[in-house]
Amino acid sequence: MKININRKILIEKLEQCLKFTARRTVNNNLLRGILIKGEGGMLDIYATNLSYFIHTVIEIDTKIEKFQAIVEPTDLIEYLSCTESEKVEIEVGNNTLKISQEKSQGTFPLISGEDFPLPPEVKDEGMAIDVKGLKNNIPLLLLSASKDDSRPVLTSINFIVEGDKLTMVSTDGFRLSVVQEKATRGIRSMLISADFLNSVLQMVKDKNPTVFYLHEERVVAFQIDKTTLYARLIEGDFPPYEKAIPIDKKTTVSIDKESFLKSVKQMAVFVKKGGGIIIINIKKGTLEISPKNTGKDVNYTVMEGVVDGEDQRVAFNYRFLVDLLTHLEGGRICIEMLRSDTPVLFRDESRKNFFHIIMPVRISE
């Protein structure tokens, strides 16, 4: 059985699926490979690491007999990337996948796809999601999501629906991001993997995805054109994040974002090889930023700011500040704090529905 297919489209689909394989975590050929199913004028391609699934479709010109098989994708992608033909010919045998184009041919082993775990079937109607809102909000929440799989709940983004209000929260124990929006009809409270939502974000481009919630399977699915991404919802109790939100403040600072970012990066030069800690001295009208390890008399930078309230001396991991500032679009930011040992709140003055909290580093006075 031979299939003619556009080479670039095939590479694109295989690369999308490669990200969802379990290559780094298991030694299982089923999960390390990609399932290709063919019938009629369609090729269905699947991959999974058992937490996430992807299903994408390629339409082909010829009618083909029904088949399914698993192929290891890395070598296949590399081979296809080294060819220049617009189309390639695929021939599926009992145990091999042969790819031919002009004067070259490559043969790749196949294994049976009978035991490959497929995603659950989507039966209910989905809910359209505005891609603009997705792009505006999710990157800010990814900032604070943990990458430590030993605490799965902290690797999630918590979607909380209360009446017509949707609150989205992420935290790694050192940072907290909160975005509030009007709840779209049909949205539910749930914990979704931040890593999975990042994959969705990379794939949506400018297209509005459709979201499906599969209650019995505890799965959420995002459909983007002919590709559907699935993720199992994370189980567990999200920490009571409200306790980390400051109620009182003694100092408020309004500063230019770009100037602050440049100042932080400038002082980071002196702490990158150490603990990464910079100290900010807040006084009337100014912020003096210096590295912790060399002291303010050796290396420092001073910038102007609008300061209301008490003088403060506070220390941060500079990476947390750079992460935040590079993701904010507004020209000015607001900083609110009570003391140097309590959570410090950051706002983008151009948007009211988002705030970010960073725990300062304790330092001796």
pLDDT, tens digit, for every residue of 49-73?
Answer: 999 999 999 998 888 888 999 999 9
The third-level CATH classification (topology) of the domain covering 2-112 is: DNA Polymerase III; Chain A, domain 2 (3.10.150)
Residue 125, token pair as written in the block: 């109607």
Confidence of residue 290 (pLDDT cuts 50, 70, 90): very high
pLDDT, tens digit, for every residue of 70-103?
Answer: 999 999 999 999 988 899 999 988 899 999 988 8
Please state, in angstroms and rounded to a whole number, the distance separating the CA atoms of residues 114 and 260. 57
Q: Taking all residues of the chain, what is their mean pLDDT, rounded to a whole number? A: 92
Architecture of domain 246-358: Roll (3.10)
φ, ψ for residue 180, nearest 5 deg: -120, 135
Confidence of residue 312 (pLDDT cuts 50, 70, 90): very high
Position 296 pLDDT exceeds 70: no
**Nearest Cα to Cα of residue 241 among 307, 191, 183:** 191
Please state, in angstroms and rounded to a whole number, the distance separating the CA atoms of residues 43 and 63. 10
Q: Supply the pLDDT for residue 295.
A: 60
Position 257 pLDDT exceeds 60: yes
Q: How many CB atoms lie within 10 A of CB 13?
A: 22
Same fold across 2-112 and 246-358 = yes
Q: At what angle do helices 194-204 and 131-142 cross, to 10 degrees?
A: 140
CA angle 195, 196, 200 (to 5 degrees): 120
User: What pTM does this model have?
Assistant: 0.90
Confidence of residue 126 (pLDDT cuts 50, 70, 90): confident
Strand pairing report for 2-6 and 87-92? antiparallel
Position 338 pLDDT exceeds 80: yes
Q: Supply the pLDDT for residue 27.
A: 66
Average pLDDT over every residue of 166-193: 93
Residue 115, token pair as written in the block: 């035991």
Domain boundaries, the chain: 2-112, 127-242, 246-358
pLDDT, tens digit, for every residue of 182-240?
Answer: 988 778 899 999 999 999 999 998 888 999 988 888 999 999 999 999 999 999 999 99
Confidence of residue 158 (pLDDT cuts 50, 70, 90): very high
Confidence of residue 286 (pLDDT cuts 50, 70, 90): very high
Question: Which has more confidence, 282 or 26?
Answer: 282
Question: Which has more confidence, 241 or 65?
Answer: 241
**Block residue for tokens 């949205």:** 187
Average pLDDT over every residue of 127-137: 90
Q: In what order do the strands lie in the sheet with 277-283?
A: 301-304, 286-291, 277-283, 312-317
Q: What percent of the chain has pLDDT over 90?
A: 74
Q: How many CB atoms lie within 10 A of CB 2?
A: 11
Q: Supply the pLDDT for residue 365.
A: 57
Could you tell me the CATH superfamily of domain 127-242? DNA Polymerase III, subunit A, domain 2 (3.10.150.10)
Q: Supply the pLDDT for residue 26.
A: 60
**Nearest Cα to Cα of residue 15 among 227, 195, 230, 210:** 227
